[in-house]
Amino acid sequence: MTTLKNFIQVGDKAPDFSAIAVYEQEFKRVKLSDYLGKYLILLFYPLDFTFVCPTEITAFSDMYYKIHSLNAEILGISVDSEYCHLAWMQLDRESGGVGDLKYPLVSDLNKQISLSYNVLNNEGKSLRGLFVIDKEGIVQHSLVNNLDVGRSVDEALRVLQAIQYVQTHADEVCPANWQPGQSTINSKYTNSKEYFKSI
C-alpha cells in the first residue's frame, strides 16, 4: 500500500479533490474548492452496506439543518463506487440502507482522497476520519476512529461551533466541554485568571 511522506495536520490547507458524488438520486461532480466560503465537515467511513456506517451517515443527515444553519456543509466519503452509493441510498433505513440523505456521498474508488487525508488503512478501507475545514480551506479539526467505533454528531457540532466562535472573537479560547453561551477564557495570561476564579 502506498503511504504519504507528508501527513495532513490541523492548520494545513485541506487537500483539494474532484470526484463523483451521489446527491438526490443523481450523480454530480464535487470539488473541495466549491466549498470555499463555507465550513465543511468531511466524513470518511469504511464501506456502504455495513453496520456502524449507516448509524453515522443517517445521524449526520438528521442533524444537517442545524449544521447548515452554521454556514457549514457535509460530504460523506468512502471507497465505494457511485453506483454502490446510489443503491445504498435507494434502500430504506429499516432494510439496511440510508434512504434519502441531505448531503452528498462521494465515491473515492481510486482511494486517492482517503490517501491524501491519511485515513486509508492497509485493507484499502477508509478509517472513520472526520475533518472540519474552515471557510479559507484550512483544516481546523481532525478525528480518526478505528472501524468498529462510531463518532458523535453532537461533538462534531460542538467543535464546529467552538471553531467558529474563536475565529470571530479575538483573544478568546474555548475550555474543555465548552458549549455556546458558556464562558470562554481570555488568551492573555493576566486576563485568563478571571475565568479560573469563576469555576
pTM: 0.92
Residues 144, 198 share a domain: no
Q: Please list the ranges in the chain whose pLDDT falls under 70.
A: 1-6, 190-191
pLDDT digits (tens, 9 = 90+) for 107-128: 999 999 999 999 999 999 999 9
Q: How many residues appear in the chain? A: 199
Grid coordinates standing for 167?
A: 475565529
Q: What is the pLDDT of residue 189?
A: 72
Q: Does 127 fall in a domain? A: yes
Which pLDDT does position 6 carry in this prediction? Answer: 64
State residue 196's pLDDT score.
74
Same domain, residue pair 164 and 175: no
Domain containing residue 57:
18-168
Q: Answer whether residue 59 is part of any domain.
A: yes
Which pLDDT belongs to residue 4? 46
Tell me, yes or no, if 53 is annotated catalytic: yes
- State the total domains in the chain: 2
pLDDT at position 5: 45
Q: Are residues 118 and 196 in the same domain?
A: no
Nearest to 38 by CA among 138, 154, 156, 159: 138
Q: Look-up: residue for cell 474563536?
A: 166
pLDDT tens sequence across 26-50: 999 999 999 999 999 999 999 999 9
Among 41, 42, 53, 106, the active-site one is 53
C-alpha 88/C-alpha 65 separation (Å) is 22
Indicate whether 36 belongs to any domain: yes
d(CA 61, CA 79): 19
Q: How far apart are CA 102 and CA 18, in angstroms?
A: 20
Domain annotation covers residue 4: no
Radius of gyration of the chain (CA): 18
Q: Report yes or no on 104 lying in a domain.
A: yes
194 shares its domain with 103: no
In a domain, 69, yes or no: yes
Cβ contact 89:97 at 8 Å: yes
Same domain, 110 and 131: yes
